[in-house]
Structure 1
């Protein structure tokens, strides 16, 4: 693990600013009783700030793993930091104005703000794609670590791309034509701002694309964290001392994570609430669980004994 001063500085500075933004937003949740689209008005900047801290600090760590192309990665990370900062300025600015930030076309200014947010997200996504490509081409430590950061970044890109599905007009908005002040929605089959789950704010009566968006983007943290757990457990479990076993478990977990992400997207697009799946969704989830269990069992089978690798000797020591 690199020291903090060795990480990508613009991403670290932006993350520090987001910690402050989260604290300010928490104060807004306590002292500002305004409600927007069925939720406390400061809830959105709070969620975004916390998410950006996790996302950007993980990205800064991944950039530090690159043995080459550091300059290209530095510029890509800087674009992510600048685009994310612009996004947060626009979100907080709309909160201060008491206006909806996403999907809002009610006035020319609101439409311009939402269009600017769309541009920043495109730049952010393309910069993250460049980092993912650099990770795919680089030789990073052991193979398990390399594939955990590669696959985590690719799934996170797919999760971020869910946001592009949200800007499509709903059938109701298409029917209203030019009179639609709000174009796009998080929810599918029900209007935004209806009954929702506690804490997350996800719709409890219809599909919600934010579920897959959240799950996919945080593959960036979840898959490398899984590998860190496997490495930590290696001294206590003999099978995990073999790098090949850890690699197989990482690949299997990544495949399962990607499959669950697809399932959550499919469920939302069919207008189903996360906690109210139909029989088809439950059958698909059960099949995934069975395949994941079988794959995990197969991955844990210790390969035929050969001379231990240097990595295995280090772990055992």
Structure 2
């Protein structure tokens, strides 16, 4: 009998670090490095008391190192759902290299600015800063675009042991992360701020605005579709069967789109997200 590939299957969780390296060594190594750098950046706030808008200068590098690291580790895992003979195909090899390269460029600029006690995002004080901010935005869009390349490959040439319902879930998650993450990111850039209306307070962990609207909430919802949909689908299929797994994948995809749009409109109206 052919084995079915679920993210939560016992063989996949015996050694998740080794499994990630097996699926895509370069993405796994970069992802782990970024997560470690996130921890280092966060710890720097203990010895460096400088603030930007009331927040440690090292908070943004820590968050972006973690977010980009998770983005790379997710892609490394999903490479395991591509046929082995296709994993080194030129489009996939290029997309992985671009994901790492764009991530390194974006975080290098964010960290450099933090070290100087200056803003990286929405900093258009002069031509060099405007150009670097624009390049950073293009790099972020490029990172998300690599998800579409991976989604296309999994949709058209999946690994033989990938179950149909998980295939649907992974493709939906990757596509929604690319689209919703890009659109919400562009709205942040166009607004030249993540805040709308009154500004004050910060939600625990996330730092979201507690007095007015915050466009980062919609960005967060959209960016994590690629993890939420496959995990929920795998759990539902393992407990209730393949048919329920497919239903959960489709229902959660609709729910994530609806929730992302809802919190986006809420932010535009200047209303805080209840946390």
The answer, yes or no, to whether TM exceeds 0.5 is yes
SS in 1 for 2:190: coil
Does the Cα contact within 8 Å between 2:169 and 2:230 map onto a contact in 1?
A: yes
**Map of 2:40 onto structure 1:** 24
1:165 and 2:187 aligned: yes
Matches within 5 A, 1:50-69: 50-67=66-83, 69=86
Cα distance change on mapping 1:13 and 1:167 into 2, 3 Å: same
Cα distance change on mapping 1:136 and 1:264 into 2, 3 Å: farther
Does the Cα contact within 8 Å between 2:45 and 2:56 map onto a contact in 1?
A: yes
1:152 and 2:177 aligned: no
Count residues in correspondence. Answer: 253
Task: Measure, in 2, the Cα distance between the counterparts of 1:11 and 1:195.
Answer: 36
**Map of 2:101 onto structure 1:** 82
User: Shift of the alpha carbon at 1:69?
Assistant: 4.1
Does the Cα contact within 8 Å between 1:55 and 1:221 map onto a contact in 2?
A: no
User: Shift of the alpha carbon at 1:262?
Assistant: 1.7
Cα distance change on mapping 1:159 and 1:38 into 2, 3 Å: farther
Does the Cα contact within 8 Å between 2:222 and 2:260 map onto a contact in 1?
A: yes
Runs of 4+ residues deviating >6 angstroms: none
User: Any unmatched runs of 5+ in structure 1?
Assistant: 170-183, 235-239, 277-317
Does the Cα contact within 8 Å between 1:11 and 1:81 map onto a contact in 2?
A: yes
**Map of 1:229 onto structure 2:** 235
SS in 2 for 1:249: helix
Cα distance change on mapping 1:5 and 1:13 into 2, 3 Å: closer
User: Any unmatched runs of 5+ in structure 2?
Assistant: 1-11, 13-17
Greater relative contact order (CA < 8 Å, ≥ 6 in sequence): 2
User: Shift of the alpha carbon at 1:137?
Assistant: 2.5
SS in 1 for 2:124: coil
- Structure possessing the higher radius of gyration over alpha carbons: 1
Out of 206, 213, 218, which is 1:207 matched to? Answer: 213
Task: Measure, in 2, the Cα distance between the counterparts of 1:25 and 1:213.
Answer: 22
User: Shift of the alpha carbon at 1:160?
Assistant: 1.6
1:220 and 2:226 aligned: yes
Matches within 5 A, 1:4-153: 4-67=20-83, 69-70=86-87, 71=89, 72-140=91-159, 141-153=162-174
Task: Measure, in 2, the Cα distance between the counterparts of 1:163 and 1:248.
Answer: 29
- TM-score, scaled to structure 2: 0.85
Per-residue Cα deviation, 1:232-275 (whole angstroms, up to 9, x for no partner): 4x2xxxxx1x3122212222222222221221122112221102
SS in 2 for 1:3: helix
User: Shift of the alpha carbon at 1:108?
Assistant: 3.3
Instruction: Please report the RMSD computed on the Cα atoms of aligned residues, expressed in angstroms.
Output: 2.0
Task: Measure, in 2, the Cα distance between the counterparts of 1:122 and 1:249.
Answer: 28
Matches within 5 A, 1:239-278: 240=240, 242-275=241-274
Task: Measure, in 1, the Cα distance between the counterparts of 2:34 and 2:21.
Answer: 18
